Amino acid sequence: MSEVVSSARPSPALRHMLVPLALAQFICSFAGSNMNVMINDISADLDTSVQGVQVAITIFLLVMAAFMIPGGKLTDRWGRKRCFTLGLVIYGIGALLSAVSPGLGVLILGNSIFEGIGTALLIPPVYILATMLFHDVTSRARAFGVISGMGGIGAAAGPLIGGLITWAISWRAAFVFQALIVGLIVVLSRRIKDPVPADPTRPFDLGGAALSAIGLVLLVTGILAADNNVWLMLGLLLAGAVFLLWFFLHIRAEERAGEEPLLSTSLFHNRTSNLGLVTQNIQWLLLMGTSFTVAAYLQVVRGYNAIETGVIFVSSLSAERLAKKYAQRSLIIAGFVTTIVGVVVLLALAGSSTNVWAFAPGLLLIGLGLGVMLTPSVNVVQSAFPEERQGEISGLSRSVSNLGSSIGTAVCGTILVSGLTSRAYGAAMGTLAAIGVVGLIATLFLRTEPVAQSVAAPPVGGDIATA
């Protein structure tokens, strides 16, 4: 237990071991946003449309959301290190497959399916390991700050790095870049050991996993179908709601029968966590929705190439974490207010100017707002539960965030592909502003402090040599 430091300043060894975990979050967030600046290049190379690329991006985000809860649960059965490594391998295979894809179908298989499943396996262990290693509130907040900060940078820098690689080499090279980063993470994570042993006898709720995945897929598919057939959209949304209700009834019945469900209903009894999950969902919805909308508008309507589009997004890299000085609730409120103002500025300036840099002030404000509140929201949710619940809450938290990302891309993409015009761009951004207001209202009801008993949980037994 010598590596575990219960103070505000963990040992250098622990800080160094945080690097592969943060890099893993970076590359997964990067993958979710870098394709936004490749829309024209991929469409031309694979003989597809903007809608085809949007579907690939949305399926990737949706697969992550659908499998994140099962992925979090499997960490107990297979072990956190094994899930992390397996996820990296599957992700790397998907990246290489995407790089050589001859058509949209193979791209969806590699990027959307393989990378999505790989991410769902490797991300829950990242947050579980960080929670188990950093026990006091300050050091845990810093660990989450590094990891979530790298996730925010990955999402924001994805368009810039992806645009630069696409402009200099090709869009395929951006997937090779992902595979190289994954290889680096595998090397850096060789010393990672599980804080607690895996339990192969731990039950896994396969029925619950299937019901939750089907429900989420149907919901997002319904949103994607909105521009084609209203009745199909309503049917898919209704079917998705039915499956999710079935899932809830299933896990409640499992609990009453004394079985271990995929997700405990008691996770939803925590008011602070529930509101934190709402803010997480909306934050990633805003981030990915804005990224896709602006990128598609710049490339298809304004005619900018990948590097020009990526450069504009660099302004959102200016976000800083202020968790050391201000309460988490205050930061989330400030983040939503700044983000909403940024969307309004983006609409006002970009809509009335032909100068590409008219997008910069609004994107800067959006980047600052999202950057300020991403880390506090994660810390609020994760710290609301003791360590023995981290597998469940980590999977749920990441699933909710990725569901927000997929819904943001689906909603904005559906509005845009119905007519790629300045009016459609305005409608998409206006929708995001309205959703941001909902997130702000939810934050106003957050408790100032996290649940005390959850953040003071004692260390889990066993030698913790690495993170």
Q: Which pLDDT band, with edges at 50, 70 and 90, does 308 fall under?
A: very low
Q: Which pLDDT band, with edges at 50, 70 and 90, does 422 fall under?
A: low
Looking at residue 227, its pLDDT comes to: 66
User: What's the whole-number mean pLDDT along residues 152-178?
Assistant: 83
Residue with the larger pLDDT of the pair 320 and 304: 304
Summarised one tens digit per residue, pLDDT across range 81-103 is 899 999 999 999 999 999 999 99
Q: Is the pLDDT reported for residue 450 higher than 50?
A: no
Summarised one tens digit per residue, pLDDT across range 197-212 is 888 888 889 999 999 9
Residue with the larger pLDDT of the pair 99 and 138: 99
Residue with the larger pLDDT of the pair 219 and 152: 219
Q: What does the DSSP assignment read for 174-212?
A: HHHHHHHHHHHHHHHTTT---SS---TTS---HHHHHHH
First to last CA, the chain: 12
User: What's the whole-number mean pLDDT along residues 299-318?
Assistant: 51
Contact of 255 with 352, CB cutoff 8 Å: no
Looking at residue 301, its pLDDT comes to: 58
Task: Report the range of poorest mean pLDDT among 33-42, 153-162, 347-356, 358-367.
Answer: 347-356
* Listed residue (330, 328, 348, 326) closest to 338, CA to CA: 330
Looking at residue 353, its pLDDT comes to: 62
The CATH homologous superfamily for domain 12-193+262-455 is: MFS general substrate transporter like domains (1.20.1250.20)
User: What's the whole-number mean pLDDT along residues 130-156?
Assistant: 73
Looking at residue 149, its pLDDT comes to: 72
Summarised one tens digit per residue, pLDDT across range 379-406 is 788 778 876 676 678 778 877 887 888 8
Looking at residue 441, its pLDDT comes to: 94
Separation between Cα atoms, residue 371 and residue 359, nearest integer Å: 18
Separation between Cα atoms, residue 13 and residue 463, nearest integer Å: 14
Counts for the chain of helices (H) and strands (E), in that order: 17, 0
Looking at residue 433, its pLDDT comes to: 92
User: What's the whole-number mean pLDDT along residues 288-311?
Assistant: 65
Q: Which pLDDT band, with edges at 50, 70 and 90, does 421 fall under?
A: low
Neighbours of 45 (CB within 10 A): 16
Q: Is the pLDDT reported for residue 307 higher than 50?
A: no
* Listed residue (111, 124, 122) closest to 38, CA to CA: 111
Residue with the larger pLDDT of the pair 54 and 96: 96
User: What's the whole-number mean pLDDT along residues 108-125?
Assistant: 92
Looking at residue 337, its pLDDT comes to: 95
User: What's the whole-number mean pLDDT along residues 222-249?
Assistant: 87
* Listed residue (295, 253, 274, 271) closest to 408, CA to CA: 295
Looking at residue 278, its pLDDT comes to: 92
Residue with the larger pLDDT of the pair 467 and 72: 72
Separation between Cα atoms, residue 343 and residue 286, nearest integer Å: 9
Looking at residue 109, its pLDDT comes to: 95
User: What's the whole-number mean pLDDT along residues 440-460?
Assistant: 57
Summarised one tens digit per residue, pLDDT across range 327-379 is 778 889 999 999 999 889 888 876 666 666 677 788 778 878 887 887 788 77
Looking at residue 443, its pLDDT comes to: 92
Q: Is the pLDDT reported for residue 7 higher than 80?
A: no
Neighbours of 303 (CB within 10 A): 9
- The b/e string for 137-174 (b: 16+ C-beta within 10 A; e otherwise) is bebbbbbbbbbbbbbbbbbbbbbbbbbbbbbeebbbeb
Tell me how far CA of residue 61 lies from CA of 28, 58, 126, 373, 402, in angstroms: 10, 5, 18, 21, 6
Chain mean pLDDT for the chain: 79
Residue 260 tokens read as: 């271990």
